[in-house]
Amino acid sequence: MQAYDYIIIGQGIAGTVISHQLREAGMTVLVINQTNANASSRVAAGIINPITGRKMSLTWRAHDLFPYLWDFYSQLEKQLGIKALHLQEIYRPFLEVVEQNDWMGKSAEDNFKPFVNSVNAPAEEGIHAPHDGLALNQAGWLDLNLLLDTYRDALGVHYREAAFREEDLLLTAEGVEYEGVKAKGIIYAQGYAVGESKYWEGLPFRPVKGEVLTIELDRDFERIYNRGVFALPLGNHRYRVGATYDNHNLNYEVTEQARKTLLEKLEGLVKLSPKVVDQRAGIRPATKDRRPFIGQHPDYPQIFLFGGLGTKGVSLAPFFGEQLKNLLLKGTKIEPEVDIYRFF
């Protein structure tokens, strides 16, 4: 029987990050993943945004997450020999003068200062920005498909393309056994699908469907523009535009309604006419309390969870993956706000 330190189920951003962190620490891992073009990490724009939402609030734990994530992904892309991380300003147009005045004040506060480049930067030609806008620092995006594909290839024989069947998982005194492999433990990193596991069924998941468009415009913008929707430049006049939020229809179907909503919002942001070239839907592994689900199963110590990354998997995964790694390696406690122990 083949032996590994850990089996990881799922190779979205969660499975990729924790796998890399464990391997860097000298552990061996087997990743079992069933590729799905609609997996959240495959559909996501990969945006890294320190100040978000209608109210423009600071991302939860931004001061811890952001310094960590830039280092983490730059090192990973260097090791893989790819360019997946793009540091790029995110620009939010002001619709009223009062917003600009507000941000003049806020940008001087310690909380916001490291994330604000400018509060009166003019937008590029072709953007509706009647009162200039807020240009954010430490922002950008991660090319998730490129990263995930390259990482899967780098795993080589330590990657299995297959659907994991929980009924075949055997819990033993030493750890787990699964299809000819034994390991000290198993880490569930299956995105929203983890809610179907009998080990995690009681957790308060709250998956949210999201749709995104790929469009073409007549020109290439330098920045990511964001107000109501984001328009993320992919190069060659292409943009990703998103996203919708729907917690009722949890399926992968693309809808006319979502396309209409996104295009209407885009009209308020961009003056140019878009041509839609693609539309995709995915399901975010969100949670009721909007905090990740990380840690060790209270009854089965060989079973672990790395999930619940919600709407911000790219920003959250490196910092909290490090905590899971430290739990596995040294028994260090996961911080209570994200530890699944909060529900047991």
Which residues of this chain interact with ligand FAD, rule CB under 6 A?
A: 9-15, 32-34, 36, 39-41, 43-47, 163-164, 189-191, 193, 210, 212, 242-243, 282, 284-285, 307, 309-315
User: Is the bond leading into 243 cis (omega within 30 degrees of zero)?
Assistant: yes
Q: Which CA distances in Å does 318 have to 70, 82, 263?
A: 9, 18, 33
- Least separation, in Å, of the C-beta of 108 and ligand FAD? 28
Q: Which CA distances in Å does 195 have to 42, 69, 125, 293, 323?
A: 19, 27, 46, 11, 22
- Least separation, in Å, of the C-beta of 133 and ligand FAD? 19
- Least separation, in Å, of the C-beta of 252 and ligand FAD? 10
Using DSSP's 3-state secondary structure scheme, residue 331 falls into: coil
CA atoms within 13 A on the CB side of 29: 30
CB nearer ligand FAD, residue 112 or residue 188? 188
CB nearer ligand FAD, residue 88 or residue 132? 88
- Least separation, in Å, of the C-beta of 247 and ligand FAD? 12
CB nearer ligand FAD, residue 6 or residue 119? 6
CB nearer ligand FAD, residue 132 or residue 143? 143
Helix or strand holding residue 161 (H, E):
strand 159-161
Q: Distance between CA 10 and CA 16 in Å, rounded?
A: 8
CB nearer ligand FAD, residue 93 or residue 310? 310
Q: Distance between CA 240 and CA 230 in Å, rounded?
A: 8
| β-sheet bridge partners, residue 177 | 170, 182
Q: Distance between CA 133 and CA 118 in Å, rounded?
A: 8
CB nearer ligand FAD, residue 210 or residue 274? 210
- Least separation, in Å, of the C-beta of 156 and ligand FAD? 18
- Least separation, in Å, of the C-beta of 193 and ligand FAD? 4
CB nearer ligand FAD, residue 47 or residue 203? 47
Alpha carbon of residue 98 to chain centroid: 32
- Least separation, in Å, of the C-beta of 104 and ligand FAD? 28
Beta carbons of 179 and 169 less than 8 angstroms apart? no
- Least separation, in Å, of the C-beta of 185 and ligand FAD? 17
Backbone angles phi, psi at 283, to 5 degrees: -125, 120
* Tokens standing for residue 181: 């492999």
Place of tokens 């999930």: 307
* Tokens standing for residue 314: 């790219």
Report which of 133, 109, 129, 130 is spatially closest to residue 120, judged by C-alpha positions: 133
- Least separation, in Å, of the C-beta of 144 and ligand FAD? 7
CB nearer ligand FAD, residue 119 or residue 197? 197
Torsion of CA 117, 119, 125, 130, to 10 degrees: 160
CB nearer ligand FAD, residue 282 or residue 318? 282
Torsion of CA 124, 126, 131, 135, to 10 degrees: -40
